[in-house]
Amino acid sequence: MSDNVLKVENVTMQFGGVVAVDNVNLEVNAGEIVSLIGPNGAGKTTAFNVITGVYPPTNGVVYFEGKKIVENYPRGKMKKLYKTENNGAYTHAIEPTPDKITRMGVARTFQNIRLWSSQTVFENILIAKHCRVTAGLLSATFRMNKLEERRQREECDELLRILGLEGVRNELATSLPYGQQRRVEIARALATQPKLLLLDEPAAGMNPQETQELTAFISRIRTDFRLTVFIIEHHMALVMDISDRIYVLDFGKLIASGTPAKVQNDQRVVDAYLGVSEDA
Amino acid sequence: MKRNRIPQFFIIVGAFLLLLAVVLMLDNVPGVPVMLLIVLRKGAIYALVAVSMNILNGFTGLFSLGQAGFMLLGAYTYAILTVPVENQALVYQRYPNGGIGFSVTESLGRVLGQPGLLLGVIICLILGGIVAGVFAYLIGLPVLRLKSDYLAIATLGFAEIIRAVVQYEKLGPITNGSNLLSNFTNFSNFHLGSLKLDTVMPFVFAGVCIWVITLIINSTYGRAFKAIRDDEVAAEAMGINLANHKRMSFIISSFFAGISGAMLAMYQASVQATIFKAAMTYEILLIVVLGGIGSISGSIIAAFLFVGSSEWWLRFLDNTTVLPNFNAKLLFAIIFAAIVVSIVFLVVYRQNKAQKSRPEAVGRGRKILSLKLSGVITLVVGTLLLLGDLRFLISPDLQVPLLRSGFRMVVFSIIVMIVVLFFSRGLMGDRELPDLFRTRHKRL
Ligand SMILES: Nc1ncnc2c1ncn2[C@@H]1O[C@H](COP(=O)(O)OP(=O)(O)OP(=O)(O)O)[C@@H](O)[C@H]1O
Ligand SMILES: [Mg+2]
């Protein structure tokens, strides 16, 4: 098939009568950094939640590496409530839980940081490795998985080193400054060994200096970990700098897509979004 | 950290062996108060149940109230499997041909002697755990998919139902209906030479089980449990299957509850469904809360303190006591002064602490504190008045006020309330005993 890692096809997500994501189609190709932008409440996070299995979509399909991972069609009470296009285009329901999708190779961070608060930075990252554990409960309990455990711990330390977090290795993750917590969250996502990394507003709350560092950092991990990256972001500097392509969402609908230069000059985008964000 | 680990392991094993030696001595030296032995035996068993409850409530963040039910399953499984054949007619008096017609411990004991008996006990304890685990699996299938509150309701219901079910007349030939099961293999069947092992054995069994639980908690699965406790959404997003892991934790917790139930049966040398009431679950929950939710050593310490107080130290509260020719007014004055001083001390101490940490919060803190204090005082005064026992102020002989059957539980409730109000994280918070000796405190 084509080399797109992620393909979202006619995805609609409706909460009752509210259409949060409206018949969206998008693709992310291998090795790309693609951004998803749009004003507040446009449905960006919801799109991520559909891709990662948090919500089954109301309608539509998500492909990962050419394989259908999520599919749904308006059922039950949604049959009546369904408001938009492509009703009847799909007839199957595939609703994997988020953990399953993560194990397939899709990892994410959260808009509002969700680190495990009683755990240290190292433990946060180590726990993320749990999804790759092959040892069963008994062998893990009686320490017959020493090799695997040691390898995972080494990998985590390596990750910490690469991300420049070895200095805070044993700190409680939630005691760190905001910027570092975001970094730990990215490290944690990387620990699950993803092929596709979804970042939900990684620069939120960062100053320009930190944002610039983050930009470089994301480009670097893309090459180092051979990742495909899909980012939701409001910081236009970061988005324009880093993205190979951009999708723009407004009221759940895709209103534009293309290279940063093209999107920047799109009148609808300027109207819906950029004009507002300039002074925000 | 790594350098630290090996000696720590040996320190713990060494301390445990030393403890066993002391317990063995206490068991066999004449003159040791029987109460002490009772507290040690029951304390060890309660420590195990409390730790098993902590796996779920403290480390996985799920709330279950079925501990007594799972203990009952373990106790009955154990008892049914170990009543010697010749005793079965006696035990199942009301049910001709009752009993299962064989006894695991007896059969093994006949072939292998004392080691066979021990093997039989271990097998039956584990079977008791497995039966409890199987039920946990079945309950977990529908319930763990729902929001976690449902688990508490479902397990509470389950514990009540299972208690009724084992007393069901039709099951009598196996469970002996609502009658006692007794005469089965228990701790007093074991001897080392001429030494009694009544107290050592519960310690060994509970110790081994708690050690296994610690291994689980510190394994990759235990870490996953803690992740679910801290943030379920993040745990799921990081590839941890919630349903599987919750179920796993629930089964492990119930398995060990089953074993401790079987041990309780051994300790009592008899078992009857009626003791496994919801009140027992609350006792255990109390121990977990007092010890600190998420602290294994806290649960262990609290278990012994709880059993000690409820069986021994606070027993005197249940006995009416008369002190002849006692100057009651003086005593009253002393007690009153003590209460006032301690309240004042508490207020000042709290205020200082609050002032140091967050000066702006003092006002609010004081308000909350006085609320709490007035709550406690109201309760104490209320009980005093309710029990209407101020006669002692005029009589020369002092019938110590309030002391009477049932007062122990009142005092106990007050202690618990004070702990919950003022030390809401329990004795240990979520720390473990070794953490207290560590100099560097990375984890606050
Ligand atoms: N679980 C839910 N139930 C009901 N409505 C929801 C739910 N989640 C999101 N929505 C609605 O969907 C719309 C899109 O929300 P979403 O969080 O996806 O926006 P966003 O683009 O991420 O915005 P922001 O930039 O503020 O993060 C909003 O109107 C929101 O209220
Ligand atoms: Mg969002």
Other residues' Cβ atoms within 10 Å of the Cβ of residue B358 = 11
pLDDT digits (tens, 9 = 90+) for B59-89: 999 988 999 999 999 999 999 999 988 888 8
Phi then psi for residue A66, to 5 deg, are 80, -5
Among A85-94, B171-180, B428-437, which range has the highest average pLDDT? A85-94
- Cβ-based contacts of B223 with chain A (< 8 Å): 119, 123, 126-127, 130
Mean pLDDT to the nearest integer, B389-397: 58
Helix and strand totals (H; E) in chain A = 12, 10
- In whole angstroms, give the CA distance from residue A140 to residue A9: 41
Token pair 């063995």: residue:
B24
pLDDT above 80 (res B306): yes
pLDDT above 70 (res B364): no
Q: Are strands A196-200 and A106-108 parallel, antiparallel or unpaired?
A: parallel
Q: Which of B161, B156, B180, B159 is nearest to B76 (CA)?
A: B180
> Would you state the pLDDT for residue B327?
60
pLDDT above 50 (res B442): no
**Predicted structure pTM score:** 0.86
Mean pLDDT to the nearest integer, B364-380: 66
| A99 and A13 within one domain | yes
pLDDT digits (tens, 9 = 90+) for B215-256: 999 999 999 999 999 999 999 999 999 999 999 999 999 999
Token pair 């918070």: residue:
B429
- In whole angstroms, give the CA distance from residue A8 to residue A254: 12
CA A95 to chain B, closest CA, distance in angstroms equals: 14
CA A280 to chain B, closest CA, distance in angstroms equals: 30
Give the number of residues written for chain B.
444
Task: Enumerate the domain spans of chain B.
Answer: 34-317, 321-402
Q: Could you tell which of A45, A58, A254 is best to mutate to test the pocket of ligand 1, judged by most ligand atoms within 8 Å of the CB?
A: A45
Q: Chain-wide mean pLDDT for chain B?
A: 83
| A204 and A79 within one domain | yes
More confident residue, B399 or A184: A184
Structure token pair of residue B170: 């039709």
| Distance (Å) from CA A130 to ligand 2 centroid | 27
Q: Could you tell which of A46, A109, A200 is best to mutate to test the pocket of ligand 1, judged by most ligand atoms within 8 Å of the CB?
A: A46
- Cβ-based contacts of B239 with chain A (< 8 Å): 99, 102-103, 128, 130-132, 192
Token pair 């010697």: residue:
B84
More confident residue, A175 or B337: A175
> Would you state the pLDDT for residue B324?
67
Interface residue of A99, A112, A145 to substitute, partner B, most B CBs within 10 Å = A99
B147: exposed, middle or buried (C-beta count within 10 Å: 0-12, 13-18, 19+)?
exposed
Q: Are A277 and A46 in contact (CB under 8 A)?
A: no
| Distance (Å) from CA B358 to ligand 1 centroid | 36
| A101 and A205 within one domain | yes
Mean pLDDT to the nearest integer, B156-179: 88
Interface residue of A45, A50, A114 to substitute, partner B, most B CBs within 10 Å = A114
| Distance (Å) from CA A98 to ligand 1 centroid | 18
Question: Does the distance separating the beta carbons of B216 and A172 come in below 8 Å?
Answer: no
H or E, element range at B437: helix B433-437
> Would you state the pLDDT for residue B422?
76
More confident residue, B121 or B367: B121
| A29 and A99 within one domain | yes
> Would you state the pLDDT for residue B374?
66
Listed residues A165, A193, A221: the one ending a domain: A193
> Would you state the pLDDT for residue B252?
97
3-class DSSP state of B196: strand
Beta-bridge mates of residue B323: B398
Question: Does the distance separating the beta carbons of B231 and A116 come in below 8 Å?
Answer: yes
Helix and strand totals (H; E) in chain B = 18, 6
Looking from the CA of B375 toward its CB, the CA atoms found within 13 Å total 12
- Cβ-based contacts of A127 with chain B (< 8 Å): 223-224, 226-227, 235, 238, 240
Q: Are B272 and B175 in contact (CB under 8 A)?
A: no
Q: What residues are neighbours of ligand 2 (ion), with CB under 5 Å?
A: A 45, 111
Question: Does the distance separating the beta carbons of A118 and B226 come in below 8 Å?
Answer: yes
For A161, the domain range is 114-193
| A157 and A180 within one domain | yes
Cβ–ligand 1 contact at A277 (below 6 Å): no
State the first-to-last Cα distance of chain B, in angstroms, to the nearest integer: 17
Window from A6-15, B277-286, B299-308 with minimum mean pLDDT: B277-286
Window from A233-247, A258-272, B191-205, B409-423 with minimum mean pLDDT: B409-423
More confident residue, B12 or B316: B12
Mean pLDDT to the nearest integer, B394-421: 71
Angle at B119 between CA B114 and CA B125, to 5 degrees: 125
Cβ–ligand 1 contact at A245 (below 6 Å): no
| A201 and A92 within one domain | yes
Cβ–ligand 1 contact at A252 (below 6 Å): no
Angle at B131 between CA B128 and CA B135, to 5 degrees: 140
> Would you state the pLDDT for residue B100?
82
Interface residue of A118, A125, A182 to substitute, partner B, most B CBs within 10 Å = A118
Q: Which of A183, A278, A267 is nearest to A236 (CA)?
A: A278
Residue A184 in contact with partner chain B when CB distance is under 8 A: no
Instruction: Output the domain CATH number for residue A231.
Output: 3.40.50.300
Closest residue to atom 7 of ligand 1, CA basis: A15
Q: Are B298 and B291 in contact (CB under 8 A)?
A: yes
- In whole angstroms, give the CA distance from residue A233 to residue A204: 8
- Please give the share of chain B, as a percent, with pLDDT higher than 90: 41
| A132 and A72 within one domain | no
- In whole angstroms, give the CA distance from residue B289 to residue B113: 43
Q: Which of A217, A207, A222, A228 is nearest to A183 (CA)?
A: A217
Structure token pair of residue B187: 């701790």
DSSP for B14-27?
HHHHHHHHHHHHHH
Mean pLDDT to the nearest integer, B340-347: 73
> Would you state the pLDDT for residue B329?
62
Mean pLDDT to the nearest integer, B171-187: 86
- In whole angstroms, give the CA distance from residue B159 to residue B284: 14
- Cβ-based contacts of B233 with chain A (< 8 Å): 54, 110, 114
Window from B336-345, B387-396, B406-415 with minimum mean pLDDT: B387-396
Residue A171 in contact with partner chain B when CB distance is under 8 A: yes
Window from A42-46, B9-13, B330-334 with minimum mean pLDDT: B330-334
3-class DSSP state of A84: coil
| Distance (Å) from CA A45 to ligand 2 centroid | 4
Listed residues A159, A193, A227: the one ending a domain: A193
> Would you state the pLDDT for residue B345?
73
Residues B251/B256/B258/B264 CA torsion (nearest 10 deg): -160
Q: Which of B261, B277, B276, B269 is nearest to B77 (CA)?
A: B261
- In whole angstroms, give the CA distance from residue A10 to residue A57: 10
More confident residue, B147 or B21: B21
Indicate the number of domains in chain A. Answer: 2
Question: Does the distance separating the beta carbons of A108 and B230 come in below 8 Å?
Answer: no
Cα dist from A163 to A182, A206, A214, A220, B427, whole Å: 11, 17, 11, 10, 38
Q: Are B78 and B266 in contact (CB under 8 A)?
A: yes
| A62 and A162 within one domain | no
Question: Does the distance separating the beta carbons of A143 and B215 come in below 8 Å?
Answer: yes
Other residues' Cβ atoms within 10 Å of the Cβ of residue B391 = 11
Residues of chain A with pLDDT under 50: 1, 277-280
| A101 and A13 within one domain | yes
pLDDT above 70 (res B180): yes
CA B81 to chain A, closest CA, distance in angstroms equals: 26
Angle at A51 between CA A63 and CA A238, to 5 degrees: 110
Question: Does the distance separating the beta carbons of B248 and A140 come in below 8 Å?
Answer: no
CA B129 to chain A, closest CA, distance in angstroms equals: 16
Question: Does the distance separating the beta carbons of A120 and B443 come in below 8 Å?
Answer: yes
Q: Which atom of ligand 1 is nearest to the CA of A55?
A: 1
Closest residue to atom 4 of ligand 1, CA basis: A15
Phi then psi for residue A71, to 5 deg, are -150, 145
Listed residues A143, A170, A193: the one ending a domain: A193
> Would you state the pLDDT for residue B106?
85
